[in-house]
Structure 1
């Protein structure tokens, strides 16, 4: 943030003389804009956290530690990424790679409390992976827990974007981003409905498969992007329903969306080529070349920020390319 200096010198009126000094023209204009912007913001704003609680947060924080990649994504898109002083830098999606330059605040599942304390942040943003540390982090700085409601995905994501916008006085930009995404989502949902194709979402981890349906971690495919389910009985679970390749053939989806967890976090993904499995090749999706690999880092490590939702929309739209 630009540092602006303005000096105003006045003698007593009884002496009958006044004098004042001016900053440079550019600095003066910036000072007026900055002062005006800050005076328009209330000292605090009430936002909704990931548990539906109303939380009062100081506006326009200067130093923020961010563990939630989706929140980092939204801050970046709203132009306040320069406020980030710490993040879980070892687990960033490629589109947030620039933030590897900020100081590490610990692992994505285990914040480094000592380092975070030394950073003296004004605000800490966390997600479910750090929820167990919320009480300890709150002792360091105000901590806002953000998460997505898998039963109402898009509305929940909008709430997160709006909350971050409100904290930084970027409500208009946040709403513009939401409106742009809404247009894209509506177009995809219309195509998905018209196609009448049924989709199956699979997470593959070192050869093992888990299926996800409505109300689960990747329910955005169904409740937001509008794809019908190949199996409406999938157990709603954070970790998905463990399934076999025989199950995939039995359900015979028209489209298979694959998230490679191993690739997202690093590891041996040599057994993860779902499209090449002989049973998958017998499905309608396999025969029509509609086994679609989703961006694993975005879907597994982010998923509810402005840019990540845009990337996810582009990913699922590949179902209409053939």
Structure 2
């Protein structure tokens, strides 16, 4: 585990064992010792808790990461195997945590059996089962893509909400402060390497129906925002979707400048760049490919995660651009 991720993970574990305080949603006094009421601000409005939650079911990987980062272990998580494959930053889901099914279709019965005092999920995924989930426990839905201040600000807000919900606002703030430090360190490294202002393109690559697909991260995506904070310039100007991405085939990559560094993530089990594209003339004729400017990031770098995934993306970016 890289220095930043390891330090944050150790800090989160230590903090999780210590006594801490909570705050009300309006910034009121600490309430952890008193177990005071909490009001969360979710995409569906305010959600009230009588006291900080201790038995949480997290149905989206981003929120699993957020909770683990602040030293909170959920009692239930959707698709633990998938989490361990795609989200490799930070602590792992401990043994004994219940796998409650997929993120798309979690098991209502298994969630109910856990008797949680809070369920956290993605706003869009809750469309099909909102009533069933809300009938079990208070339901907090989030989606940082819907945050008016941008996805990076939305990600930070949700981390703060996780701290508020669990009575651990101090831990949440420390994790975010550590990320700010990582951004500053990465920016200094990029500048020292003479890469400030250098063009880059960032992509998640995979295969669909036998053809390579590229999710190109615009400056409006979380991953694009994070990398852009280091002082390099996002060269991808395609139209973003709700997640800040533009999905194209290899033909669409002609829009990437020849001198741009093409940074990408692909699964070891499905990497078109080292597979089918190696003999694809459209790919090999691209200027940035000819120039040797293609850099693979760690396959477990999750572009849609929380502060620890953002820190891993920063580490991988610096390594790719300065080595």
Tell me by how many angstroms 1:221 deviates: 4.1
* SS of match in other structure, 2:39: strand
Q: How far apart are the structure 1 equivalents of 2:75 and 2:179?
A: 25
Q: How far apart are the structure 1 equivalents of 2:295 and 2:137?
A: 42
Tell me by how many angstroms 1:284 deviates: 5.6
Q: How far apart are the structure 2 equivalents of 1:236 and 1:79?
A: 33
Return closer, same or farther for 1:34/1:108 CA change in 2, 3 Å cut-off: closer
Normalising by structure 2, report the TM-score: 0.73
Residue 88 of structure 2 corresponds to residue 92 of structure 1: no
Matches within 5 A, 1:70-85: 70-81=62-73, 83-85=74-76
Deviation by residue 1:226-250 (Cα, 9 ceiling, x = unmatched): 4322132433344843323343244
Return closer, same or farther for 1:175/1:239 CA change in 2, 3 Å cut-off: closer
Deviation by residue 1:13-52 (Cα, 9 ceiling, x = unmatched): xxxxxxxxxxxxxxxxxxxx799x9763442222332x38
* SS of match in other structure, 1:155: helix
Deviation by residue 1:162-216 (Cα, 9 ceiling, x = unmatched): 1111222222222111111101113334537952211212222212223231224
Deviation by residue 1:59-95 (Cα, 9 ceiling, x = unmatched): 33221111122222222222221x4244432321354
Residue 125 of structure 2 corresponds to residue 108 of structure 1: no
Which protein is richer in helix relative to its size? 1
Match of residue 172 from structure 1: 170
Tell me by how many angstroms 1:270 deviates: 5.3
Return closer, same or farther for 1:237/1:130 CA change in 2, 3 Å cut-off: closer
Q: How far apart are the structure 2 equivalents of 1:248 and 1:155?
A: 29
Q: How far apart are the structure 1 equivalents of 2:299 and 2:122?
A: 18
Match of 1:248 among 253, 262, 283: 253
Q: How far apart are the structure 1 equivalents of 2:295 and 2:131?
A: 40
Matches within 5 A, 1:25-104: 40-49=33-42, 51=43, 53-81=45-73, 83-94=74-85, 95=88, 97-99=92-94, 101-104=96-99
Return closer, same or farther for 1:295/1:47 CA change in 2, 3 Å cut-off: farther
* SS of match in other structure, 1:108: coil
Give the gaps of 5 or more residues in structure 1. Answer: 1-32
Tell me by how many angstroms 1:107 deviates: 0.8
Contact 1:215/1:236 (8 A) holds in 2:
no
Q: How far apart are the structure 2 equivalents of 1:224 and 1:144?
A: 30
Matches within 5 A, 1:132-211: 132=127, 133-149=129-145, 152-189=150-187, 191=190, 195-206=196-207, 207-211=212-216
RMSD (CA atoms): 3.4
Contact 2:40/2:140 (8 A) holds in 1:
no
TM superposition outliers: structure 1 runs of 4+ over 6 Å = none
Contact 2:219/2:244 (8 A) holds in 1:
no
Return closer, same or farther for 1:63/1:166 CA change in 2, 3 Å cut-off: same
Q: How far apart are the structure 1 equivalents of 2:224 and 2:98?
A: 33
Tell me by how many angstroms 1:142 deviates: 0.7
Return closer, same or farther for 1:168/1:239 CA change in 2, 3 Å cut-off: closer
Number of positions where the alignment pairs a residue of Structure 1 with one of Structure 2 = 281
Q: How far apart are the structure 2 equivalents of 1:272 and 1:57?
A: 48
Tell me by how many angstroms 1:117 deviates: 1.1
Normalising by structure 1, report the TM-score: 0.73
Contact 1:61/1:122 (8 A) holds in 2:
yes
Contact 1:221/1:227 (8 A) holds in 2:
no
Contact 2:39/2:49 (8 A) holds in 1:
yes
Give the gaps of 5 or more residues in structure 2. Answer: 1-18, 22-29
Return closer, same or farther for 1:179/1:221 CA change in 2, 3 Å cut-off: closer
Higher relative contact order (CA 8 A, sep 6+): 2
* SS of match in other structure, 2:215: strand
